[in-house]
Chain A
């Protein structure tokens, strides 16, 4: 029976984690602050719905996901720093392939990559590589793979077509795997 007056204090103890989560998606510290603030307000308003339903952090993260998406939508269709507006991803040839559609630099074996998941250094490289993608690609990729939203949900929220979503995810994966090869799997990271 943690009294209601304890909730603000409990929320505070999750602030750092939620900020990191929001920052990972939004890349903008002040937007991330906004998302966490909105999450706390919502949590305080609907804490009756919580009552042992799940871990507090899990519950807060679920609220935060929605706040992040709200903020992204509010920023509108044309996410900054991207030449092509959302919804008009072109499907032209990629620089990973030659004119015949062959790999210019064929992906080499990563061996047994799962051991890397235990390494803090691996996660730093992963984050850097995500940040290197165009913002819109990183966001869509992270909605799908980190936030684990369904493709239908993403298309609806961002108002893009399924085929567009597939192109963006494909581009994001090409970029991430190439960056991870250069900076982790094919690199001497001791």
Chain B
């Protein structure tokens, strides 16, 4: 059983990688399983997605700085 449960470190690493490329089917299922039971990793995954949205807006923010 142990091998089928990802640690938070493995899960968060996969959440990050999933933003760059599609995960394999096994990784995807095991990550989903981990996220279902782990609030910390669920928050992490949401937060790095938010940070991507924010980062895309940096040029806009730099423009606003002008006023």
Chain A residues with a Cβ under 8 A of chain B:
16-17, 20-21, 24, 61, 93-94, 96-97, 100-103, 106-110, 113-114, 116-117, 120, 123, 126, 141-142, 145-146, 148, 151, 165-166, 169-170, 173-174, 176-177, 180
Contacts and interface: CB of A to CB of B under 8 A. Distances in A.
A21 B53 contact: no
Contact of B21 (A110, A142, A151): A151
B48 A173 contact: yes
A126 to B, nearest CB: 7
**Chief secondary structure at chain A's binding surface:** helix
Nearest to B20: A151
A106 B7 contact: no
Interface of B is mostly: helix
Contacts of A106: 8, 39-40, 43
A107 B43 contact: yes
Contacts, number: 97
Contacts of A146: 55-56, 58-59
A140 to B, nearest CB: 12
A146 B59 CA distance: 8
Across the A-B interface, the 3 shortest Cβ-Cβ residue pairs:
A101-B7, A106-B40, A145-B55
Question: Which of B41, B43, B64, B66 has the most chain A CB atoms closer than 10 A to its own CB?
Answer: B43
Nearest to A108: B43
A177 B63 contact: no
Interface string B22-45: 000000000000000001110110
B7 A100 contact: yes
A160 to B, nearest CB: 13
Contacts of A141: 55
